[in-house]
Each structure stands twice: as structure tokens, then as C-alpha cells.
Chains A and B, each alone.
Chain A
């Protein structure tokens, strides 16, 4: 009969103890965060140097990312309407050109066909700087052929466009086929390589950031070995002793990440003027991009996580040595 009463009385005490333990744990986190921040502030030059190294290391992949994103955007804008120019043989006449154009329009992989007469070709040539003299020298003779500008269907992939080009080359009336989408494919391939390079670079620099924080925390722990010894003699657990150093890693990473985001913004601002000029030169069709806001926020958070990991990796081993 007495047992339940004891349990009933013990339960609230146990809950109070649990709640107190949690409150103590929370307080120590607050204390550790504040203490580590104070320690960082206590040696401003060293902290600034570490944060600067982290900031620069993390800003580099961001800058490359910005560059690649804009190149991709430019490539997209310039290659929005890739066309295939089909030069007919010199003996082909207007009605024959119209006939072939009609046949091509019926193909499922063709969006449209525009016919350029030899005269239109000559006029375009005459308008090009430096060619007017040469055009006048031709007198009335026009050596240019009829040209069909074939617009492939939107969304066609590279092999499908290649198949269309090969089919056009196979036409009896066709002399030469020029595929303007080829340069876009090459640019995409180059951008793909660039993206991979940025990823590898980001991974390497993240590793460097991890090592920088780890080494800084390692020296910090080594310089405080006496304090760590005292804390452990007083009954502090390893987790208790380690906590301020983990927060130091978080602070280093966070500040380094904020600096990297600010540097990336500064680079973006520095490039904004020339980029606007370029955009104007292409009639405002380039739509040059900026770094997305989520990336600017994610960098400090990811960097803080890296700092925590770096500090955690070294602190366990270092504390064993220091204690």
C-alpha cells in the first residue's frame, strides 16, 4: 500500500530534477556561447585573421558561381532561337526554294522556315561594315544562293537537332548547312565543366575552412590546458569542458561565412556596372543574374556547421591530451 504513495511523491521530485538538469544544460550553453564570444573578442587580431582567411576561402567559390551563372544566362539569352541556315545550290530557283521550304515546314522537328532571297542576302552583306565596296564591285551579278533559315522545334535535344541537320544535308537541292546551335552546345559543355570545377573548388575550400577552424581551436585548447585540468578536477564532464570550444568553432565559421557573403555581394556590386553595359549592348535581352538571397544566407549557416565539425574533430583528442 505504501509503494504507490512513495512513487507518487517521488515522481514530481524526479520531474523537478529533470527540469533543473535541462535548465542547467541550457544555461551552460548560453554561458559557453557568451564566454567563447568574449574570448574571441579578447584577441581581436587573431580572430580577425582567422575570420578573414575563412571569408576569403569561402568567397572564392561564390564568385565563380556568380560568374558561371551569368555566363549561363548570357548563353541562354543569345542562343534562345538557334537556327539552321540551309544554302541551296546555285542552280536552284525561287519556286524550287519555296517547294523545299514547304516540305520542310511539314516535318515534325521544324518550327518554321524563312526564305532569304539572293537579293536579301546581298543587302545584308552590303550593310555589314567593310563589305559595301565588295558588293558594289559585283555590278549586277549576284553570286549568292537562295537560303532557307530553318527553326528547329523548341525543346529539341542535341541529337535531334543533329538528326535534322543531317537530313537537311541529305537534300538534293542543298549545297551547305550551317548549324548555329553548335556554339551553344559547346558553351553548355564548357559551363558543365566550370560547374564541376566550382563544386570541387568549394569542397576543397570547405575542407580548408574546416582545417583552419580545427587548428585554431586546437591551439586554443592547448593554451588553456591548465584551465581544462582544473575544470576536470572540479568534476566537469568532457562535454562541459568542450562546449565553449565548439561554440568558438561555430562563431569562427559564422563570421567567416558572413564575411564571404559580404565579399560576394561586393564582387556582384563591382560587376554590376560593366554587366549593365553588356546587357544594354544586347538590347536588354541578357538578363544577367545576381546571387540568390538563399545562397547568401546558406553560406554563413553552412560555414558555422563546418566550424562546429572542425572544432568537434579536434577537441575530443585535444581534451584527452590536456586533461
Chain B
């Protein structure tokens, strides 16, 4: 689960990206964070991944208080997260298989097990037949799916995604969101930052709305119309 308790983030220069933010995403829940550009969506995800540290407040991710995580503990925490980025962040000189394999290699998983899990993840996103190709030869949607396979291959407890459908056409975007919903179904906590309101409405999941770093609405899934 993810818990924010009175979290504020002020960058050098004085810009306050998040202000007194409190909310909780339960284990196995899927939620969207939305808001206009600059509302603080990306900052929120960066705080979860310890790319940034909060100026005030407490964050707990998967039972771990992030304030207690030192510099040496950051890699360990990140290995418990799955991260999906708008720009995929794939390594273009490595095959699809090698890209998806990275979290397992980092985690010290044995080669045979790595191979099995990578193929399972690629099968899940429908790209098993592309395993030997370089990401450059894939479409944007396919590259995003490789990014998702990489995020889920190590079976993270928490999956966070920053505008994962930002570059995709509406049909592909729905498919990608469907994948996230499937991961929620198997018990993964999923938090997706997106400004695509029509898509969010179609998913009927909880929506946390930010405006200038403040929480302005927290709408349960069943009330999303």
C-alpha cells in the first residue's frame, strides 16, 4: 500500500509542488492521480520512488517508511516497485528480452528463472514473438508494453506509472490501462498518473485529483462517471 501523510514538497527556488497532501492507496487497489499540467502528479510519483525527498510529512510504501530509507537503501526499495514511464526509458542497444530481463538481473535471479519470467511477462503483454528484436523496430505502443513487461517482471508489490498512455492512440491507451487493471486483479497496488480524463472515466477506478499540489478531490471508483 501507499500512504501520504501531510506531505509537502518545495523545490529549491521556492516552488511548492505538493502541499499538505494526505491519502492512502490500499494494498491491491488501483487508483489514478490526475490534474492539470504542474498539479504535482509527477512529483508525487518521484517521492514514492525516492527520486525526490519530501520537504515535510511521511510517506509509507509497502510497509516501509521512506524517511527511514538511507541512500544505500534506495536500490532495495526501488526493486520492490514497478515503474512505467511515459517515454518508456528502454535501452535501445539491447533486445526486448534483455530490457525486460534487467530488473531480474539486478535482483540476482538465476538465469533459468530469469528466462522463464521474462517470457511470461512478454507473453502477458503480447510481445513474446518480439523478444529478440531491438526496441527501435517496435511501434510506440509496443515499446510501452515492453516497458510494462519490464515493470512487472520482478512481481513488484506496487506498480506506479507516469502518463503511460501519453503517446498512444485511444485504442492502445485502453489496452494498456486494461493491463494495469489485470495486475491489480492479481493483488498488485497500482497508482497511475494521467491527465487523460476520458480514459480515466472508462476505467471506473478511484481518482485522486490534484490542483497546484493540493488534494481537491478523492473519488471512489464506483462514483466515477
Residues of A within 8 A of B (CB): 20-21, 23-25, 27-28, 31, 226-227, 229-237, 240
Contacts and interface: CB of A to CB of B under 8 A. Distances in A.
The 10 closest A-B pairs by CB, nearest first: A24-B108, A235-B79, A235-B78, A237-B75, A236-B106, A235-B75, A230-B89, A234-B103, A235-B106, A227-B91
Give the most central of B49, B75, B90, B103: most A CB within 10 Å: B75
A258 to B, nearest CB: 28
B102 interface: yes
Contacts of B91: 227, 230
Contacts of A31: 105
Contacts of A20: 108, 110
A231 B101 CA distance: 11
A42 to B, nearest CB: 9
Given A27-B111, A227-B91, A233 B106 contact: no
A232 B51 CA distance: 10
A233 B108 contact: no
A245 to B, nearest CB: 16
Given A230-B102, A236-B106, A240-B75, 12 more contacts: A20-B108, A20-B110, A28-B108, A231-B106, A234-B102, A234-B106, A234-B150, A235-B75, A235-B81, A235-B106, A237-B75, A240-B106
A233 B49 contact: yes
Interface string B149-160: 010000000000
B134 to A, nearest CB: 14
B75 A25 contact: no
A229 B150 CA distance: 15
A232 B109 contact: no
A75 to B, nearest CB: 58
A233 B89 contact: yes
Contacts of B89: 226, 229-230, 233
Contacts of B110: 20, 23-24, 27
Contact of A235 (B107, B109, B111): B107
A236 B83 CA distance: 13
A237 B79 CA distance: 10
A29 B192 CA distance: 36
B135 to A, nearest CB: 12
Given A230-B89, A230-B91, A235 B108 contact: no
Contact of A236 (B75, B81, B111): B75
Contacts, number: 54
Nearest to A31: B105
B: interface residue count bin: 20 to 34
Nearest to B72: A237
Contacts of A235: 75-81, 103, 106-107
B102 A27 contact: no
14 contacts: A20-B110, A21-B108, A23-B108, A25-B108, A27-B110, A230-B89, A231-B106, A233-B51, A233-B89, A234-B79, A235-B77, A235-B80, A235-B107, A236-B106
Contacts of A27: 108, 110-111
A38 to B, nearest CB: 10
Interface string B88-125: 01110000000000110111111100000000000000
A31 B51 CA distance: 27
Contacts of A21: 108
A240 B51 CA distance: 18
Contact of B105 (A28, A226, A229, A237): A28
Nearest to B108: A24
A234 B78 contact: yes
Contacts of B51: 233
Interface in B117-145: none
B213 to A, nearest CB: 23
Which interface residue of A21, A25, A230 has the most chain B CB atoms within 10 A? A230
A123 B79 CA distance: 96
B109 A24 contact: yes
Contact of A232 (B75, B80, B81): B75
A233 B102 CA distance: 11
B154 to A, nearest CB: 8
A24 B83 CA distance: 23
A20 B109 CA distance: 8
Contacts of B107: 24, 235
A24 B112 CA distance: 12
B78 to A, nearest CB: 4
B163 to A, nearest CB: 15
A73 to B, nearest CB: 54
